Amino acid sequence: MEELIKKLKVEIIEVLNLEEMEPGDIDSDAALFGEGLGLDSIDALELIVLLEKNYGIKIEDPKDGRKIFFSIRTMAEFITENQK
Q: Which residues bind another protein (CB under 8 A)?
A: 15-20, 38, 42-43, 45-46, 49, 52-53
Q: At what angle do helices 72-82 and 41-55 cross, to 10 degrees?
A: 30
> What's the min distance (Å) between Cβ of 73 and another protein?
23
Which of 3, 84, 75, 81 is closest to 44 using CA atoms? 75
Which CB atom, from 35 or from 42, has the smaller least distance to another protein?
42
* Closest separation in Å from C-beta 2 to another protein: 27
- AA letter at 46: E
CB of 83 vs another protein, minimal distance in Å: 17
Q: Which of 1/49 has CB closer to another protein?
A: 49
DSSP 39: B
Q: How far is CA 69 from the centre of its chain?
A: 6
Per DSSP, the three-state class of 33 is strand
Q: Which is nearer to another protein, 14 or 29 (CB)?
A: 14
